């Protein structure tokens, strides 16, 4: 088993910096998710750990071993590719055992471990089939099995679920989480899907423009986003933001005035952004005036989109909520749940 140390890694494509001085410590056996929008550098960072990209600066260590200058095959890692990269000219069994054959393990050992890998992922009936005869979900499992039988202490996954349909993705997500509990490999998992990140990660590194914007446990990131970007990226629906300024015990902006009891004195008059989650807003008899735009019943609850001033705000309401579009209502914010960001930089402010 092994930890992974990424120390000041830089990567430049042509003149575009893809990774800016990234440092990240991944603990032994940890499931680390790299999360961010496309182009944020998450896949590049993973490929730098894999050795499929050369870093332009910084070091990568696996355990105590500096692997920065080693070829991928010498790093003792396994990887699941986004496209799966399951070889079409080999059977399922041939694919699962590929890495072991390349490492020239004895035949009986290969057979035994291919069998174990196939059992772990429910692929035993398909061992003699070719990938073209499998469904997308089965091919994805072949890719996972091929990586797991390697017994490499480090497992890298590059959006392994993005090519599956929604229902299958839900199933595969739970399967991968169960597998991780069983095999306890140190895992780096790249995704742009914040639900995947929340549900699977021990910790999440939220990336933006080649840098890590926030690193933390899923609920920590959800509850205390380090910036407006993170709050807007994590959670479905994303966090609501209202722009305004603190004046005489209340936070006021276009069309609203929220009474605030506790706030650092030096923030008086400063332009700020208030962040509030949909589930922390209640529809009340009095409070902030809002105009209902859309009501979406979602089974377990209803999602109500309202306008506060000119800003759309999403409110999570009970499914039997009695509001209709064009109705004027009032919202109540629980002060303890409110988050504050600087209006200019977007970074979080402690009050």
Partner 1 sequence: MRARTERFLPFALLLPSIGFLGLLIVIPMVQALLLAVMAEGGGLSAENFQRMFADVNFSDAWRNTLLLLILIVPLQLVLALCMALLINSRFRGHGFFLYIYAIPLAISDLAAGILWLAVFTERGYLNSTLQNAGVITQPILFLSFDNLGGILTAIVIAESWRATAIVLIILIAGLQLIPRDFFEAADLFGANRLRRTVHVVLPLLRPSLQSALIIRTIFAFQTFAVVFALAGRNMPVLAGEAYTWYATNRNEHIAAAYAVLLLGLTIVATVVYLRVLGLREAEVQR
Q: What is the contact surface with partner 1 in residues (CB under 8 A)?
A: 50-52, 71-73, 77-79, 81, 83, 85, 87-89, 98-99, 101-103, 129-133, 146, 150
The Cα–Cα gap between 151 and 29 comes to 13
Contact between residue 316 and residue 303 where contact means Cβ atoms under 8 Å apart: yes
Shortest separation between residue 98's beta carbon and partner 1, angstroms:
6
Closest distance of CB 6 from partner 1, Å:
18
Nearer to partner 1, 102 or 217 (CB): 102
Helices (H) and strands (E) in the chain, counts: 9, 21
Angle between helices 166-183 and 136-148 (to 10 degrees): 10
What the block records as the tokens of 249 is: 């015990």
Least spacing, CB of residue 146 vs partner 1, in Å: 7
Radius of gyration of the chain (CA): 24
Q: How far is the CB of 34 from partner 1 (least distance, A)?
A: 18
Edge-to-edge strand list for the sheet holding 186-191: 77-80, 154-158, 186-191, 31-35, 203-208, 211-216
Looking up tokens 């080693």 gives 70
**70, 64, 10: which is closest to 41 by C-alpha?**
10
Token pair for 297: 């019943």
Tokens of 43: 């896949």
Q: How far apart are CB 199 and partner 1 at their closest, in Å?
A: 26
Cβ nearer to partner 1, comparing 79 with 230: 79
């Amino acid at each position: 088993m092994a930890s992974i140390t990424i120390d000041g890694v830089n990567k430049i494509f042509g003149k575009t910096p893809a990774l800016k001085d990234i440092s990240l410590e991944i603990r032994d056996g940890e499931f680390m998710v790299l999360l961010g929008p496309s182009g944020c550098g998450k896949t590049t960072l993973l490929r730098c750990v894999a050795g499929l990209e050369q870093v332009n600066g910084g070091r990568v260590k696996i355990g105590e071993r500096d692997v920065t200058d080693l070829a991928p095959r010498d790093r003792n890692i396994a990887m699941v590719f986004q496209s799966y990269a399951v070889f079409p000219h080999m059977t399922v069994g041939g694919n699962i055992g590929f890495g072991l054959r390349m490492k020239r393990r004895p035949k009986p050992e290969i057979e035994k471990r291919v069998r174990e890998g196939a059992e772990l992922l429910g692929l035993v009936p398909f061992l003699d089939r070719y990938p073209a005869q499998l469904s997308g979900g089965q091919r994805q499992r072949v890719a996972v099995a091929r990586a797991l039988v390697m017994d490499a202490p480090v497992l890298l996954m590059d959006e392994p679920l993005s090519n599956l349909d929604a229902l299958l993705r839900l199933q595969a997500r739970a399967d991968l989480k169960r597998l991780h509990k069983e095999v306890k490999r140190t895992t780096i998992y790249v995704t742009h899907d914040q639900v995947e990140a929340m549900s699977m990660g021990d910790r999440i590194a939220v990336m933006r423009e080649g840098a890590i914007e926030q690193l933390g446990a899923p609920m920590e990131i959800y509850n205390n986003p380090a910036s407006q970007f993170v709050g807007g990226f994590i959670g479905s629906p994303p966090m609501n933001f209202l722009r305004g300024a603190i004046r005489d015990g209340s936070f006021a902006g276009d069309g609203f005035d929220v009474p605030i009891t506790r706030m650092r004195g030096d923030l008086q008059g400063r332009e700020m952004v208030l962040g509030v989650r949909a589930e922390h807003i209640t529809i009340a008899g009095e409070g902030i005036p809002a105009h209902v735009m859309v009501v979406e019943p979602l089974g377990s609850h209803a999602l109500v989109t309202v306008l506060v001033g000119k800003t759309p705000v999403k409110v999570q309401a009970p499914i039997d909520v009695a509001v209709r579009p064009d109705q004027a209502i009032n919202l109540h914010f629980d002060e303890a749940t409110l988050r504050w960001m600087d209006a200019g930089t977007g970074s979080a402010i402690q009050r």
